Amino acid sequence: MAETQLAHMVYFTLHDDSPEASEALVQACHKYLKNHPGVLYFSAGTRGTEFLRDVNDQEFHVVLNVIFDTKDSHDIYQISADHLKYIAENKAKWAQVRVFDSYVTG
């Protein structure tokens, strides 16, 4: 039986809410988090400020979406040198980080 994929969605609220700060974090995501074993899908970007329905969360600036082929790939990613370097270089910029990990099927 094939393992279920793992969706790793991370929502960053920054201390500096400028477009430049958001874009810098998006670029850091691409630099450090994109090319890991087991990644089936990767994207990073900014909140669409035009989405203003009552259900749209307005409390974040940058989103990271990664789909891993297995939980094991996700777990290895969490302790990888690039992931740890990304955290060390960017953690001070974050006012809040929310992580949503879930099992998904494609």
Mean pLDDT of 74-101: 98
Confidence (pTM): 0.93
Dihedral of the alpha carbons of 83, 41, 46, 101, in degrees to the nearest 10:
-70
Mean pLDDT of 18-32: 98
Tell me, yes or no, whether 86 lies in a domain.
yes
Tell me, yes or no, whether 34 lies in a domain.
yes
CA distances from 18 to 21, 56, 62, 63 (A): 5, 20, 11, 15
How many domains does one find in the chain? 1
Tell me, yes or no, whether 104 lies in a domain.
no
Tell me, yes or no, whether 85 lies in a domain.
yes
Domain that residue 36 falls in: 22-45+71-93
pLDDT tens, residue by residue, 60-87: 999 999 999 999 999 999 999 999 999 9
| Model pLDDT, residue 106 | 73
Tell me, yes or no, whether 55 lies in a domain.
no
Tell me, yes or no, whether 57 lies in a domain.
no
Q: 105: pLDDT confidence band, cut at 50, 70 and 90?
A: confident
pLDDT greater than 60 at residue 1: no
Strands 62-68 and 94-104 come out as: unpaired
Tell me, yes or no, whether 10 lies in a domain.
no
